[in-house]
Chains A and B, each alone.
Chain A
């Protein structure tokens, strides 16, 4: 029993990976152009066969087979860079916007709020397309290329995709933060701080922002969910060499499973680390 308890923390990722594996064989469902669970089962078994020797896996590109393994890590690295850079940018940008929001008067406040509400709900493809269109328009007008709109060389563009990816989370964060600030304002510690004569800004920056950031971590799963699907279409449209290539172009169930698991593990690690920190420093239990 003791041994079992020690490994209990491993249960969660293992079960999630099991779910991912079940999904990975999904391409077998309609293999025969009609629903067939036997071909799904067959695909699932084949996938296990392939997964039993992951380092021998190959992907086919113009009829030559290449080994999957070092190259996929490079793709993963590029995708992760975009993802985490986008998260940092959106956190920074939303904090700055939050500061502007608290400093400004009611009219600006309402304006920020409604702009955020609209931008938060705009579909990701619209953001990508508009940004590309804007860059081209700007280039035609001024001759200054703000960024490459499509990559030719694999490791070329990181920043522009990251900025694009960060647009939606920025306003998502901002919307959450504004509502958290409202909640926090009524809490006793803020009232105490006010009654002691601390300034509005001191209370906001030193005391409230910490708690707000903690509250944000509760939405970790949802944010990841949103950003991953955006990342997918983003890499596809910007032609970035990332995990997307392995999910689309070189797609077999085994490669799909490996890519998804590789994508899942670092994100899961970060989420878990946040959960651990939150629990230790604040004592609040946070579920994934």
Chain B
């Protein structure tokens, strides 16, 4: 029963992410043309964009008449793709560093942990803002970097920002496993460090790492979203320095955080322009959380045996004596 529930959670979570990614890739493959409705002249008379959500246009249109749903679909591949890319890099680096740190001597760890602890007291998005501002904010002379360079640097920087906290987490797990009795046994028998890692630490660590990954993707998504609100858009912010009046800063890539960041003020007027990407963003995060919960339920060894124990003791109690006499007392106690 619980296994089925967990699989359902994973299926829903991973399914939603893969569906959005796949559909978005297909959409780009087909040319990424966003449908546009600028004006209508229907029964209610003449109307112009932005249209609010209706049965014809489920998520409404933006001020230029582009359908919001397709805009979101267009951006899905960038936002989700970037978040996954960032987490993969952060995950691999943190795995290397974390396991190494787990094997370090306690004396060294005491200092390294404390220095890295600073990362818990400064929000990651502000660190990212600080580091990425010179890279992503267009100067008056324009960019010296290409779009692809900026994207790669952004992914790397965000991965490095997520590295310390993740590495501390993995190193703590490693340390915990290394503190177990069977490790002492393996050490006494002459197991080398690599042997310990490969044969004993990794099998125990594997399950926890599975749980960690979707959490990292959530973190990356949140950092990208925060940056979008601070008008540092993924892939660069197009700033206009024209003397004769300017548009506000624009993103180069229409990904979710950028759409949200540029349209936050719409919440007071045409709220759907902001809330549609927000809705899909939140759904993505809920989907990832569901995946995490499902994986936790499947992999957590502490859940199953406890339940079995409780059930078996209950059976023993009920089978050894007549049910009636015990039920009454049991009811009194539990209520």
Contacts and interface: CB of A to CB of B under 8 A. Distances in A.
Interface of A: 11-12, 15-20, 22-24, 26-27, 29-35, 117-118, 120-126, 129, 132-133, 136, 194-195, 200, 221, 224-225, 228-229, 231-233, 236-237, 247-248, 251, 256, 260, 263-264, 267-268, 288
Interface of A, secondary structure class, is helix
Contacts of B131: 26-27, 29-30
Given A27-B130, A228-B123, A236-B229, A121 B285 contact: yes
Interface of B, secondary structure class, is helix
Contacts of A117: 289, 293
Interface string B105-137: 000000100111111111111110111111100
Nearest to B128: A26
B325 to A, nearest CB: 17
B115 A19 contact: yes
Contacts, number: 140
A20 B122 contact: yes
B278 interface: yes
B278 A121 contact: no
B318 to A, nearest CB: 18
Contacts of A268: 121
Contacts of A251: 130
Contacts of A248: 126, 129, 230
A35 B120 CA distance: 24
A125 B116 CA distance: 27
B145 A34 contact: yes
Given A33-B134, A121-B289, A221-B120, A19 B114 contact: yes
A11 B119 contact: no
Interface stretch (B48-56, B77-85, B181-189, B266-274): B266-274
B123 A229 contact: yes
A136 B268 contact: yes
A17 B126 contact: no
Nearest to B284: A123
Interface residues on B, range: 35 or more
A118 B288 CA distance: 11
A225 B165 CA distance: 10
B303 to A, nearest CB: 11
B240 interface: no
A229 B219 CA distance: 11
B285 A23 contact: no
B299 interface: no
Nearest to A199: B335
Contacts of B114: 11-12, 15-16, 19
Given A30-B135, A224-B120, A233-B229, A15 B286 contact: no
A15 B113 CA distance: 9
A88 to B, nearest CB: 20
B130 A256 contact: yes
B246 interface: no
Given A236-B229, A268-B121, A23 B127 contact: yes
A126 B278 contact: yes
Nearest to A247: B126
B220 interface: no
A123 B120 contact: no
B285 A16 contact: no
Interface in B250-290: 260, 264, 267-268, 271, 274-275, 278, 281-282, 285-286, 289
B144 interface: yes
A38 to B, nearest CB: 14
B243 interface: no
30 contacts: A16-B114, A19-B118, A22-B115, A27-B131, A29-B157, A30-B135, A30-B157, A33-B139, A33-B144, A34-B145, A35-B153, A121-B218, A121-B286, A122-B285, A123-B282, A125-B225, A125-B278, A129-B264, A129-B278, A133-B267, A225-B123, A228-B122, A229-B123, A229-B126, A237-B229, A251-B130, A260-B121, A263-B122, A268-B121, A288-B117
